[in-house]
Amino acid sequence: MGFGLVIGFIELKHDINTVAMPVSSNSSQKNEPLIGVINEGTEEARFVVYKAEHTREIVSYSARITQICPQEGWLEHNPIEILRAVKECISCGVESLEKLGYGVEDIVTIGISNQRETTIAWDAVTGEPLYNAIVWSDIRTDSTVDHILAKVPENSKNALMPLCGLPISPYFSALKMRWLIDNVSAVRRAVREQRCRFGTVDSWLVWVLQGINDLSLCNVIFIALQETSNYVLSQCRYFNIPANLLPEICSSSEIYGHITEDPLKGIPISAILGNQQSSLVGERCFKEGQAKSTCRKGCFLVYNTGSSRVHSTHGLETTVAYKLGKNAPAVYALEGSVAVAGSALKWLKNNLNVVKEVSDAETAAADVPSTGDVYFVPAFSGLYAPYWRKDARGIICGLTQFTTKNHIIRAALEAVCFQTRDILEAMAKDCGHHLTKLKVDGKMAENKLLMQLQADLCGIPVERTSTLVRMEALGVAMAAGQAEGIGVWDLYKEPETAITHDVFIPTTTHEERDARYSKWKMAVKRSLGWATTKKSLAMTVVPHPPYSPDLAQCDFFLFPKMKIKLKGRRFDAVEEIQVETQTVLNTLTKKDFQDAFEKWQKRWDQCMRSQGDYFEGDGAEYDLGKM
């Protein structure tokens, strides 16, 4: 079956954004190579077409994706709707392209960028999705996290970071895969019958070609080793996910296969990048030490660390930035993810009705000179980097009788800036030096006040990329055009059409910004521990080993008592031993049993800390004479 799998008609809401780029009658210009991009995001799918080595979009067509919220904290997409939306965008995009004087034959390759951690399970035989896609921000896997933590040393959320660079969090795909197996009978049955396939959205879109997955996405799955680009069997065992159900890992830029259905039939797909890695490429952050921030529904900072994997000890993700070719070296990055940025403004609009439109937030916030010491921590689904606290919840603090809605709106904007500073501080600690400039793109970058606040609260210049350029689409177009066998884009050459930038310079003093940041940290501290849910059985009940002398309960309250009373005595018959033993047991008090079980618990804890290995001298020796 082809890329455009026939799945039936799904009605879609869509918008058209076609940029009219007149074509000269000169045939050589008309036939300049074009690059198409499938950009599948959280709220919309989009098809964009660029001229090679040009940053301006020729055609852009988008279709909205329905947001499905079955329960609080859950967010799903219909995979069939995603695929249908992509087909819709391609069809209408090509139609618009032809109206501008181009032909589909001018498109030499296709690149794909996608929303990364969003996870899909589908049937490899029928092609049907087995459940809705679980979106990256979904937090249903809290109990699954507890099950995994119960298996790792010291129940540490950072136990697997040396292998995959990620903390154990509901954010990442392996936890979502595990939840699907545990809770969806169709998925469980398909796994048992070896016909289930798991993947991120890019895999869903191209699975019929080879079932491939880009290296920049392998670590968001959580069970791939970044140095070798292979799945780690030990991590597969932690999550109990068969590796043969996962996509093949490929580089970010190579020819994976060709589309097999019109209107793009025969055109190769030569790049796949996660949207944030694609944005890093689009911002031309090719040098170690360069970083970008993308602000939309969430906020994502990616810092190029070059060929070195920097193991974060301050709450960041160690990730693959890109690998531009089969034989090209992998380039790594540190990433900090903020779950709630622009969505905080949507919450203020939809839930509190304090602003009519999100676009009005800048004007409303500018009506007051400050937040009036109000701080807003929008931890609606917990806090991501650098805290990784799934028990955090949103708070607004510092309210007085003089607080207005404009103060709260401004506090929501400042929350984006403070969370960005949290990540920048962590990056500085991990890398040993502070950034001197931060590149920013995304929908929220249209807000000039936000950009100025970002510079003021972080203390570094903010370089805003033109909001007319979608960096997550441009980056993957660049990667697709430079792929071996395509060769129409030189990444290190300045593009034919320059991208405009605005620079915002800090206007506050070091003392002022640090004082405000200190209060932000106080607010964050108060947001922690609100979601005090009962621990799952996985975290409170640990299976007893088949045999362990260190954990034998009799050793702590039965045998010591018997030894003290019976020591040095001789018995002529078994009956005498039984009578004397019963007498000893009858003398045990309630406190004796309580003390015994407390000491037994200490020995149990020591056994878990040693991971079941033999140990001596653990301080759990007991004075038998006092028992």
C-alpha span between 141 and 138 (Å, rounded): 8
- Give residue 176's pLDDT: 92
Start-to-end Cα distance in the chain: 74
- Give residue 614's pLDDT: 53
Cis, bond preceding 263 (omega within 30 deg of 0): yes
- Give residue 226's pLDDT: 47
| pLDDT tens per residue across span 20-42 | 444 443 433 457 899 999 999 99
Q: Yes or no: say if 606 and 615 are a contact pair by the CB < 8 Å rule.
A: yes
| pLDDT tens per residue across span 245-264 | 888 788 999 998 888 888 99
- Give residue 150's pLDDT: 80
Q: Identify residue 563 by its one-letter amino acid code.
A: K
Domains and CATH numbers, the chain: 284-469+493-527 (3.30.420.40), 542-626 (no CATH)
Integer-rounded Cα radius of gyration of the chain: 29
Among the residue ranges 17-26, 266-275, 280-289, 439-448, the one predicted with the least confidence is 17-26
Q: Residue-wise over 404-438: b if at least 16 C-beta within 10 A, else e?
A: eebbbbbbbbbbbbbbbbbbbbbbebbbeeebeeb
Average pLDDT over residues 70-99: 93
Whether the pLDDT of residue 272 is over 60: the answer is: yes
Average pLDDT over residues 508-537: 87
Whether the pLDDT of residue 325 is over 90: the answer is: yes
Whether the pLDDT of residue 282 is over 90: the answer is: yes
Among the residue ranges 29-33, 292-296, 455-459, the one predicted with the least confidence is 29-33
- Give residue 381's pLDDT: 86
| pLDDT tens per residue across span 93-148 | 999 999 999 999 999 999 999 988 899 999 988 888 999 999 998 989 888 888 78
- The SS3 call for residue 73 is coil
C-alpha span between 439 and 501 (Å, rounded): 9
Within 9-158, residue ranges assigned H as helices are: 27-30, 79-99, 142-149
- Give residue 160's pLDDT: 77
Which residues, at least 6 apart from 577, have a Cβ–Cβ distance to it below 8 Å? Answer: 566, 571
C-alpha span between 253 and 26 (Å, rounded): 32
Cα dihedral angle (507, 513, 516, 519), rounded to 10 degrees?
Answer: 160
Average pLDDT over residues 343-372: 95
- Give residue 249's pLDDT: 82
| pLDDT tens per residue across span 566-621 | 777 787 778 888 888 888 777 777 777 777 777 776 776 666 555 555 555 544 33
- Give residue 9's pLDDT: 23
Q: How many C-alpha atoms does 218 have within 13 Å on its Cβ side?
A: 30
| pLDDT tens per residue across span 1-21 | 332 322 222 222 333 343 444
Q: Is 346 exposed, middle or buried (0-12, 13-18, 19+ CB in 10 A)?
A: middle
- Nearest alpha carbon to residue 293 among 117, 423, 441: 441
Q: Yes or no: say if 115 and 277 are a contact pair by the CB < 8 Å rule.
A: no
Give how far Cα 516 sits from Cα of 275, 420, 503, 611, Å.
32, 14, 23, 44
Q: What percent of the chain has pLDDT over 90?
A: 54
pLDDT class of 152 with cuts at 50, 70, 90: confident
Q: Is the dihedral of CA 598, 603, 608, 612 positive or negative?
A: negative
How many residues are recorded in the chain?
627
Mean pLDDT over each residue of the chain, to the nearest integer:
83
- Give residue 232's pLDDT: 55
- Give residue 3's pLDDT: 29
